[in-house]
């Protein structure tokens, strides 16, 4: 998860109770001006949507674009508002989870103080430590690969800590967190804690997270890569090892329709961890494939198909036939039907060419 730029918590009167700057080298927007702007535009949006017949929740403004690159993300716990200023390219599920996490925690922590608040903002200053804890707790996966940033680290206190030196020596941009844990002789929990602290201190980057239900669309550079003798541009040998050949085949399976789980099933010699590790490594290079969402469309399912199905699969198939209009993503269909995304994708795969897909790139 990339860091946002700024965080604000605003009360119903438009007063900024707390603000936090994640980017110390950039000056944060003045809290009073910013909170007034957010409050005014939120009220305007709610009133306009109410006049159009929408409920209060439907009328809430979820985000405000600042430019082609930046966005204001907004969460609500009436009458309080939580705000993040972020780069659009950094918005992912983790960022959304963080947005929805910090405001309820703030309200619970200061519940009594807010009931009898006298206007003293200093009582909320201790929430700075809580914000850092929430951010650090955002889940790390053992297959993620840390890479050291090319910055001066002479004055960073972590480099004077023997435990961290042991971990840092193992960070080469190729080993996963799990491999670093094994090489350093430290437990996974201890390793994750230290990796998280290095990430928070902006000394490392982490390879992208990959989930079982993710779908990736190959880019032109992937086809170029797979045509070359060398799988990795940084690799100097002209002969591919057995492991590299396996990676080559796995990358070839990325077709814009298969989920990570589908791909893993094609390679019985690879665990799900190993599959995610390979995809995460190449996905983080930003050249070879992009994450997408699939929006299935079904005109009509052949009657012959229904004869081969179990009762449960039959019920799901009828539901999908009615719901797959090209406007609902796989995640949307999972919520609507109550079936897992994996089950939905399995049925759609069985339907084969009876299903058409629209695709949308995920930021």
Could you state, in order of their start, the residue ranges of all structural domains in the chain? 6-137, 146-206, 215-287, 293-361
Q: Kindly state the tokens that stand for 266.
A: 């094609």
- In terms of CATH architecture, what is 6-137? 2-Layer Sandwich (3.30)
Instruction: Categorize the per-residue pLDDT at 323 as very low, low, confident or very high, splitting at 50, 70 and 90.
Output: very high
- Compute the average pLDDT of residues 157-185: 89
Q: What is the pLDDT of residue 237?
A: 45
pLDDT above 70 coverage of the chain, percent: 92
**pLDDT tens digits, 4-37:** 999 999 999 999 999 999 987 788 888 999 999 9
Per the confidence metrics, is the pTM higher than 0.75? no
19 touches 8 (CB < 8 A): yes
Of 316, 341, 338, the C-alpha closest to 262 is: 341
Q: What is the pLDDT of residue 151?
A: 66
Residue that has been written with the tokens 């997408």 in this structure: 292
Instruction: Say yes or no: domain 293-361 is CATH 1.10.10.
Output: yes
Say if residue 290 is preceded by a cis peptide, omega within 30 of 0. Answer: no
Q: What is the pLDDT of residue 228?
A: 64
Q: What's the length of the chain?
A: 363
Residue that has been written with the tokens 């994708």 in this structure: 345
**pLDDT tens digits, 213-259:** 999 999 999 998 887 654 455 554 456 677 788 888 999 999 999 99
261 touches 342 (CB < 8 A): yes
Is residue 163 pLDDT above 60, yes or no?
A: yes
Instruction: Categorize the per-residue pLDDT at 162 as very low, low, confident or very high, splitting at 50, 70 and 90.
Output: confident
Rg of the chain's alpha carbons, rounded to an integer? 24
Looking at the chain, the number of H-run helices and the number of E-run strands are 15, 10
């Amino acid at each position: 998860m990339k860091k946002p730029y700024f965080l604000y918590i605003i009360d119903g009167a438009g007063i900024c109770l707390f603000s936090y700057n994640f980017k110390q080298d950039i000056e944060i927007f003045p809290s009073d001006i910013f909170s007034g702007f957010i409050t005014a535009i939120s009220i305007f949006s709610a009133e306009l949507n109410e006049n159009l017949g929408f409920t209060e929740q439907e009328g809430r403004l979820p985000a405000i674009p600042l430019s082609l690159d930046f966005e204001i993300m907004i969460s609500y716990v009436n009458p309080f508002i939580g705000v993040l200023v972020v780069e659009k390219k950094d918005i992912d599920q983790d960022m959304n989870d963080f947005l929805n996490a910090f405001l309820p925690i703030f309200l619970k922590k200061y519940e009594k103080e807010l009931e009898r608040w006298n206007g003293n903002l200093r009582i909320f200053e201790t929430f700075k430590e809580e914000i850092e804890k929430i951010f650090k707790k955002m889940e790390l996966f053992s297959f993620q690969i840390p890479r050291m940033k090319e910055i001066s680290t002479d004055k960073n206190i972590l480099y004077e800590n023997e435990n961290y030196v042991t971990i840092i020596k193992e960070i080469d941009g190729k080993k996963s967190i799990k491999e670093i844990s094994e090489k350093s002789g430290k437990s996974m929990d201890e390793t994750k804690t230290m990796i998280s602290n290095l990430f928070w201190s902006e000394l490392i980057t982490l390879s992208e997270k990959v989930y079982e239900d993710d779908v990736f669309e190959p880019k032109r550079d992937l086809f170029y890569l797979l045509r070359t003798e060398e799988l990795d541009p940084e690799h100097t040998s002209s002969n591919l090892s057995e492991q590299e050949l396996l990676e080559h085949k796995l990358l070839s399976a990325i077709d814009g329709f298969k989920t990570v789980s589908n791909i893993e099933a094609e390679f019985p010699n690879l665990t799900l961890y190993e599959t995610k590790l390979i995809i995460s490594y190449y996905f983080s290079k930003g050249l070879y494939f992009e994450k997408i969402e699939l929006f299935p469309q079904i005109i009509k399912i052949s009657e012959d198909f229904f004869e081969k199905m179990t009762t449960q699969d039959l019920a799901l198939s009828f539901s999908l036939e009615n719901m797959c209009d090209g406007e609902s993503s796989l995640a949307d269909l999972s919520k609507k039907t109550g079936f897992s995304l994996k089950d939905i994708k399995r049925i759609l795969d069985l339907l084969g060419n009876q299903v058409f897909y629209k695709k949308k790139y995920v930021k």
